[in-house]
Amino acid sequence: MSLFVDTAKWFVDPAHYRGSDAVQTRVFEHIELSALALTVAALIALPIGLYLGHTGRLGFVAVNVANIGRALPSLALLAFALPIAFALGLGLGFWPTFIALVPLAIPPMLTNAYVGTRAVDRDVIESARGMGIGELGIVRRIELPLALPLVLAGMRTSAVNVVATATLGALVAGGGLGRYIVDGLGLQEYDRLFAGALLVALLAIAVEVAFGTFERLATSPGLRTGSATF
Amino acid sequence: MTEGEPLIRWDWVAGHLDEIGQRLVEHVELTAIAVGIGFVIAFGLALLIIRRPRLESPITFVTGTLYTIPSLALFVLLIPYTGLSLLTAEIGLVSYTLLILIRNIVRGIRGVPADVLEAATGMGYTPRERLWRVEVPLALAVIIAGVRVATISTIGLVTVTALIGQGGFGYFILIGIQRFFSTELIVGAACSVALAIAADALLVLLQRRLTPWTRPA
């Protein structure tokens, strides 16, 4: 098929590695936006999830936030984010996409942090209390390490979703790899379109594999059950 | 989103009810075809996994990889084969339902207690009768839970197919972005979310109707 040849030619053309539309620039923009959104979402989701899990409060909310999150489609989030960013004077591109990505990334992490913390054996926590470990120490030294596999699984789900959805940022004049897809569709340049789609797919799979590896490395050998809520 | 323009212009909504209805039908059709075909394929693969557990990891690997590929990228990668068509949209949408559906069907059927199966065999059920009259009904709650997740995520993904010329409510979002018109954006997004919630509620009702024994007395 000539499209494969055209796409291969697109990838080896040095012109696609120069200037503001260079492959490495687009990959960097994509990762930069995704990483920032994921970090901010984690800073919101994990403390809330750990707190709710530690105290056992609002369990219904913590578990259902994931279901609500699923009902909010990525394109709809972007649609809601655009007027918000505009009202805040943040313009187009990066910020509206960022505003759409953060709420997308919160639910899996929050729910998994909650479920992971709740699953810790109450006897273990009672013994820790008996040994004189404070509440913060219990969270940090017992609940978090034991919940870590689930927390990281939630992070992986969020990260893959964020990388996938960051592509849509190109619709609102953002950068990243979605640029090639949106421009390729608009200009009917199928080599560019196909190259963009391949790059996005590879990046998403790379993120999935990287987080999966990290998950295995960070999990204490005694905990390797391989099961996750997501 | 120009200065002085309200966030939602209700006169636009009132004047476009016909089109909203038409997009609703389109959205429901795209979703129903995807979940329907996805369910048939997933059911077949799930039965295969139950009969030959060795196939579980390769099937999970393939469907998991499909699930990881961003939707827009998957649709685009199909364009050379199937063009900007309904088929492209459906192949992508069906692929995304498989992982969730297979997982829940397998989990549901495997969750049927062994002594129940033994009792069914003892009563003279053939394996086929046992599957349809004992295992599937008992697995139904878990299976429908999977159908709910698959339906909700498909309704969301349908909006993305607007980029390849399909889209249902996604069409409003796309045009809203292009024209920078917040009413159309919000109508598209809100209708899609409302449809997801309505579909989920319907499936919960369906599950209660189909499995009356799970209801508390």
pLDDT digits (tens, 9 = 90+) for B174-195: 888 888 778 888 888 889 889 9
Please, are residues A198 and B84 in contact by the beta-carbon 8 Å criterion? no
Chains A–B, number of C-beta pairs less than 8 Å apart: 124
Please tell me the predicted confidence (pLDDT) of residue B30: 93
From CA A29, how far away is CA B143, in angstroms rounded? 40
Q: How many Å lie between the alpha carbon of B181 and the closest alpha carbon of chain A?
A: 9
The domains located in chain B, with CATH, are: 10-210 (1.10.3720.10)
Surface-to-core class of residue A88, CB atoms within 10 Å of its CB (0-12 exposed, 13-18 middle, 19+ buried): exposed
Q: How far, rounded to the nearest angstrom, does the alpha carbon of residue A137 sit from its chain's CA centroid? A: 28
Residue B176, chain A, CB below 8 Å: the answer is: yes
Residue A75's closest CA among B86, B201, B175, B94?
B175
Q: How many Å lie between the alpha carbon of B126 and the closest alpha carbon of chain A?
A: 34
From CA B151, how far away is CA B207, in angstroms rounded? 14
The encoded tokens of residue B41 equal 């394929």
B59-84 residues labelled b (16+ CB within 10 A) or e (exposed): bbeebeeebbbbbbbbbbbbbbebeb
Q: What are the CA-CA distances from residue A144 to residues A83, A124, A216 (Å)?
A: 38, 13, 16
Residue B79, chain A, CB below 8 Å: the answer is: yes
The encoded tokens of residue A26 equal 């687009």
Tokens 């997982």: give the residue. Answer: B103
Please tell me the predicted confidence (pLDDT) of residue A70: 67
Please tell me the predicted confidence (pLDDT) of residue A34: 92
Surface-to-core class of residue B135, CB atoms within 10 Å of its CB (0-12 exposed, 13-18 middle, 19+ buried): buried
Query: Residue ranges of chain A with pLDDT lower than 50?
Result: 226-230
ipTM for this model: 0.73
Report the residue of chain B nearest A230, measured CA to CA.
B100
Please tell me the predicted confidence (pLDDT) of residue A142: 76
Q: How many Å lie between the alpha carbon of A126 and the closest alpha carbon of chain B?
A: 33
Please, are residues B129 and B66 in contact by the beta-carbon 8 Å criterion? no
Please tell me the predicted confidence (pLDDT) of residue B44: 95
Confirm or reject CATH 1.10.3720.10 for domain A2-221, answering yes or no.
yes
pLDDT digits (tens, 9 = 90+) for A11-50: 788 877 887 788 888 888 889 899 999 999 999 988 888 8
Please tell me the predicted confidence (pLDDT) of residue B216: 63
Question: Domains of chain A: which residue ranges?
Answer: 2-221
Residue B29's closest CA among B161, B208, B122, B129?
B161
Greatest pairwise CA separation for chain A in angstroms: 71
Please, are residues B89 and B75 in contact by the beta-carbon 8 Å criterion? yes
From CA B137, how far away is CA B147, in angstroms rounded? 15
A208 contact residues in B (CB cutoff 8 A): 68
B33: left (phi over 0), alpha (psi -120 to 50) or beta: alpha
From CA B191, how far away is CA B199, in angstroms rounded? 12
Residue A158's closest CA among A216, A214, A204, A225?
A204
Q: What are the CA-CA distances from residue B109 to residues A125, B96, B117, B127, B205 (Å)?
A: 36, 21, 11, 13, 21
Q: How many Å lie between the alpha carbon of A194 and the closest alpha carbon of chain B?
A: 6
Query: Residue ranges of chain B with pLDDT lower than 70?
Result: 1-5, 215-217
Report the residue of chain A nearest B153, measured CA to CA.
A70
Number of C-beta neighbours around residue B112 at 10 A: 18
A17-56 residues labelled b (16+ CB within 10 A) or e (exposed): eeeeeebebbbebbbebbeebbeebbebbbebbbbbbbee
Backbone phi, psi, residue A225, to 5°: -100, -25
Contact assignment for A71 to B77 by CB distance below 8 Å: no
Q: Structure pTM?
A: 0.81
Mutate to test the interface with B, among A63, A68, A75 (most CBs of B within 10 A): A75
